Copies of this chain bind each other. A is one copy, B any other.
Amino acid sequence: MAKTGQIAVVGVGPGYPELLTPQAAAALRAADVVIGYSGYFAWVENLLVDKERIGFPLGQEAERAHEAFCQAGAGRRVVVISSGDPGIYAMAGLVLELLPSVAAGCRPDVTIVPGVSALNAAAALLGAPLGHDFAAVSLSDLLTPWPNIEKKLAAAADADFVLALFNPKSQRRDWQLNRAREIVQRHRRADTPVGIVLNAFRPGQCVMLTTLGEMDVSRVDMFAIVFIGNSASRFVENFMVTPRGYTQPKANGIDP
């Protein structure tokens, strides 16, 4: 069966070369053309010398996926870059969803190259906020009705998940994070640890420890991720830590 071109959807991590995987670097080196939010190109500048780049503004994610298929249709090796991990609030799904739009004999090979996501990178800067079960929730209501988001926040808070809040705020969305805090506070104490990370491993990095009651929403922007602890999370020195279990470790330790 004839295949035309290849598409790799590549996670470049947080934008710090030391956290770009060799697999992602190799995919970029092998590319004929690199597609992505134009702001991400600078993160991997040294790998893009002599590469054709097709940049799009934020918001034009569907357009990037379409362009990837156009380029692959011409037989080229295409990389679509995502910050962090392409599977977590990023480009992998959008690209895969377009596969059926291409005639069966002409579909490009699509591979997903995982990356270090904000869940990994920002959490590492805070300590171990995700040490037990957690829920990732995007506060962006552009594609998901806000009542669905509220339901998720309430369910996760009630069941004592740690919460990792993506897209907590943007220029056009300024009230969602305060509303999320109100919902979680119905289920969790005001002194619950909260960690906020802006620009993890990038210029402008800022790591803040606060509490659910005292969180200053004005310090949060669209590049932030917000972690709200569970009932057992606590501060240890300058770290936020969620213990693995609700009981003390047994003599026979952790399974597996």
Q: Which residues of A approach B to under 8 Å, CB–CB?
A: 11, 13, 16-23, 26, 58-63, 85-89, 92-94, 96-97, 99-100, 107, 110, 112-117, 119-121, 123-125, 127-138, 140, 142-145, 148-149, 151-152, 154-156, 158-161, 167, 170, 172-173, 222-223, 236-237, 239, 241-247, 249-250, 252-256
A170 to chain B, nearest CB (A): 5
Q: How many copies does the complex hold?
A: 2
- 10 nearest interchain CB pairs? A143-B245, A93-B131, A155-B159, A93-B128, A114-B120, A59-B253, A92-B128, A18-B23, A112-B124, A114-B124
Instruction: Note all chain B residues with C-beta closer than 8 A to A119.
Output: 85, 87-88, 117, 119
Assess A255 versus B120: contact at CB under 8 Å? Given A135-B135, A148-B160: no
A173 CA / B254 CA spacing, docked (Å): 13
Partner of A115, one of B113, B116, B144, B158: B116
Instruction: Note all chain B residues with C-beta closer than 8 A to A60.
Output: 253
Instruction: Note all chain B residues with C-beta closer than 8 A to A135.
Output: 133-136, 156, 161
A95 CA / B33 CA spacing, docked (Å): 43
A40 to chain B, nearest CB (A): 13
